[in-house]
Structure 1
Amino acid sequence: MTTNDGDYWDYIFGGTGKGIPLKAKPIPVVAITTTAGTGSETDPWAVITHEINREKIGFGNEDTFPVLAIVDPELMKSVSPKYTAYQGFDALFHSVEGYVSIGANLMSDMYAITAIENVSKNLSKAVEDGNDMDAREKVAFGNTLSGVVETVGLCTSQHALEHAMSAYHQDLPHGAGLIMISKAYFTHFIEKHVCDDRFIKMAKVMGMEDAKEPMDFIKMLVKLQKECGVSDLKMSDYGITPEEFEKMAKNAMDTMGMLFTCDRAQLSIEDCVSIYSASHK
């Protein structure tokens, strides 16, 4: 907005955004990441919440990539265990989503599977001991790779579903929301058998070398959540009620509808409500 007139929401696509093309290029951005979660140091995306309209939408284009990224895990030492976990799972899911999306390709697969391995094998260590710099470095590395996955691959509707949750309940951390719905979300696609081999591959790099079934991925996902102390997160603790599920599902499709086109099996409103319902505690 330093080089373009009007309001930021004038340029947002989706929801109540006006979708006006940028008239001038933005100023160059140098990204110095102090967390390991968003991958924004290697992708063009920024996510803003319109607090009044209850819309949480990403924006970016080829001109919003950082021109320089500085990734120093020493700068992440002060992040609390809770937020280390929330951010780490955001990084993990960027690559998990990319790996099972319709946009998976040779390059995104290379980055995604390496990111999944590094984050999943080191996140609990970083949560337990924030001064474990080897673990911090590997989680940060996975996060940076996941940012690339968002660029050369695709995220899926899991992110859209969570954006709706934290658009209505703005004290809900994004990573916590993703964790809450992750088991039901990925189980839905496993039951559709959209890419059994990919779920098995992820389970293997997460530590189950003899994985044979797609649901082994869910076993490893739940195991990691328990190790990080986030397996018992509750929607109800943030005021989310079942009566909101349909409203949130419609919000997700209206504001971040493009992500639903990246799924290997299309979700209906009813599917989204079912995922929310299965996740609710």
Structure 2
Amino acid sequence: MAEHYNFFAPTRVLFGPGKLAELGDQQLPGKKALVVTTGGKSVKANGYLDRLYGQLDRAGAAHVLFDRIEPNPLRQTVNAGGWLAREQGCDFVVALGGGSVMDGSKGICVVAANPGRDEAGNEVAGDIWDYVMGGTAKGLPIPNDPLPLVCVTTTAGTGSEADAGGVISCEENDEKLRLGSPKLFPRLSVVDPELMLTVPARLTAFQGFDALFHNVECFIANNHTLMGDMICREGIRNAAASLAACVSDGTNLEARTQLAFANTLGGYAMVCSGCCGCHGTEHGMSAHHHDLPHGAGLIMIACAYHQHMIDAHACDDRYVEMARLMGASEGEVAEQGPSAFVTELARLKRECGVDGLAMSEWGITRDELPAIAENAITTNGALFGHDPVELSVDDVTAILEASWK
């Protein structure tokens, strides 16, 4: 562990029940917003979009709607959003939704401010794939500052409201790659657990496990830091204590608030270190199957991934500590050692009703697992580079096979 660290997380965060009502009092970073959300009905049916419009109106900001983001935001959709913002003269972006919306919005902010040029020097539509990293993407530095971003998160999952990264998918290439730059920290984020009360139980579980795993993976990462460890411990403890309660009773505002806190801590954790090969493996899965929710993929492979690390004695003391943070008794820890963490993880999956998830539900066949493993390591090498023990393609394939049903 490094005894020194750099920490930069400049986003102003309004956290707590009812905080959306304070958005109109803030100094917003522009006068005309592109409001980005999904093509689904929830933010409209639950009144969240109208409430956001009311806050923007109160702040004197005009707004244009872009409601096309997919569960795994696609390259062409991000490009379309960036060009709509440019055509409409929007000078900032507001993301209303969960991790996919916030990640897609970060890409939109880049495209809107960075048009491409043809061979004659004429301005043409920009492409987010110029700035995404890994795979077939160019990974270029972002020349012009992206449009400022305001996030209003409606889920507890990705922590994207507090960090400077995201993931974008390219359907044509079966790639799901990382976009990241200090220029992409949101200027302002609203984390209002009241907006999470209507998230269905199954989606609550998918998103909440993602929040838990951000903290878990950053805690075992080989580049973890003193600051990150402090954040991860609280993130793990709060997620494990609240997730089942949120799934059981979505109207439990106290539990929703606790899970939302764990989620935002996960964003800070990723600022300190980074996720590992478990996330990288899931990106390989959903790169091939774009309708697979990220959290669902993680739930299916996490036990096998962490058991592999435990069997390799990657960081026994950290797995023991995480088992305790998740509620394991001293007797269980004494009897099982680091494997008590996997026991606690399996218990939480049962309590949340997601222990029966099967890859086949999303069309993943056993035959394609080696190709998924190869894709994951090839395109998400940075995540695998954080693993406490190096994983080969054969190792990742074995993890997938142990998880498949």
What TM-score, normalized by structure 2, do the two folds share?
A: 0.69
Q: Please state whether the residue corresponding to 1:58 is helix, strand or coil.
A: strand
**Is residue 250 of structure 1 aligned with residue 382 of structure 2?**
no
SS at match of 1:214: helix
Task: Give matches, 1:156-175, under 5 Å.
Answer: 156-175=276-295
Structure ranking higher in strand proportion: 2
1:278 aligns with 2:398: no
CA distance in 2, matches of 1:273, 1:254: 13
Counterpart contact for 2:194–2:253, Cα < 8 Å: yes
> What is the match of residue 237 of structure 1?
361
What is the CA distance between 1:78 and its match in structure 2? 1.2
* SS across alignment from 1:31: strand
Q: After TM superposition, give the deviation of residue 28 of structure 1 in Å.
A: 1.2
Q: Could you tell me which residue of structure 1 aligns to residue 171 of structure 2?
A: 51
Aligned-residue sequence identity (percent) comes to 48
| Structure 2 equivalent of residue 122 of structure 1 | 242
Local SS of the residue matching 2:329: coil
Query: Is 1:183 aligned with 2:307?
Result: no
Which residue number in structure 2 is paired with residue 29 of structure 1? 149
Distance 1:44 1:221 in 2: 28
Whole-Å separation in 1 of the counterparts to 2:141 and 2:235: 33
Q: Which residue number in structure 2 is paired with residue 85 of structure 1?
A: 205
Distance 1:271 1:265 in 2: 11
What amino acid is the match of 1:272?
V
Dislocated runs of 4+, deviation >6 Å: none
After TM superposition, give the deviation of residue 20 of structure 1 in Å: 2.1
Instruction: State TM-score, norm by structure 1.
Output: 0.98
1:261 has 2:385 as partner: yes
1:7 partnered with 2:127: yes
Output the CA distance in 2 between the equivalents of 1:171 and 1:260.
23
- One-letter amino acid of the counterpart of residue 163, structure 1: H
- 3-state SS of paired residue (1:2): helix
Distance 1:203 1:19 in 2: 38
Which of 324, 346, 350 in structure 2 is aligned with 1:204? 324
Q: Which has the higher contact order (CA 8 A, sep 6+)?
A: 1
Task: Choose from 299, 309, 314 the match for 1:194.
Answer: 314
Larger Rg: 2
Secondary structure of the residue aligned to 2:183 is coil
Q: CA deviation at 1:31?
A: 1.2
Question: Whole-Å Cα distance in 1 between the matches of residues 128 and 237 of structure 2?
Answer: 37
Say whether the 8 Å CA contact 2:134–2:178 is kept in structure 1.
no
Structure 1 residue ranges without an equivalent (≥5):
none
Query: Does the 8 Å contact 2:193/2:260 carry over to 1?
Result: yes
| Structure 2 spans left out of the alignment, 5+ residues | 1-110, 116-125
Distance in 2, Cα, partners of 1:159 & 1:205 = 21
Distance apart, 1:209 and its partner CA = 3.2
CA contact (8 A) 2:175 2:284 kept: yes
Cα RMSD of the aligned pairs, angstroms, is 0.8
- 1:36 maps to a residue whose letter is A
Q: How many residue pairs end up in the alignment?
A: 281
